Amino acid sequence: MNVIKKAFRDRIGSQIDLAHAKLETLRARAEAASARAALAAIVALLSEKSAIDRKVDELRESSHTTYQQLRAELESRVAQLEASVQAIESKVKAA
C-alpha cells in the first residue's frame, strides 16, 4: 500500500508543481500587462495551491480510512486548480 500511496503523492505533486509553475508565469505576464483581474485570480489560485500542499502533507500521515477520502478530495481540488489555471492562461494569452 505504501508504494501506491507514494505513486499517488508523486503524481499529485507533479500536477501541483506544473500548475504552480504556470501560475507564476501567468503572474509575471499579468503584472507586466497590468491585468489586475487576472492577477487577483492568480493570487487566489496560489493560495489554493498552498491549501492543496497542506492536504498532501495530511495525506502522508493519514490512515487507510482517511487516505481514500483525502485522495478523492485532492484529485478533485487539483483538477479544479488545473482548470482554473488553464482558463486564466487563455485570458492572459488573449490579452
pLDDT-derived band at 76 (thresholds 50, 70, 90) equals: very high
Q: What is the pLDDT of residue 48?
A: 93
Q: What is the pLDDT of residue 51?
A: 94
Number of domains observed in the structure of the chain: 1
pLDDT-derived band at 1 (thresholds 50, 70, 90) equals: low
Does an H or E element contain 48, and which? Answer: helix 36-61
DSSP state of 35: -
Q: What is the pLDDT of residue 30?
A: 76
Q: What is the pLDDT of residue 62?
A: 87
Task: Supply the range of the domain harboring residue 43.
Answer: 2-94
Give the tens place of pLDDT for each residue, 12-54. 999 999 999 999 988 887 777 666 777 888 889 999 999 999 9
Contacts of 93 (CB under 8 A, 6+ apart): none
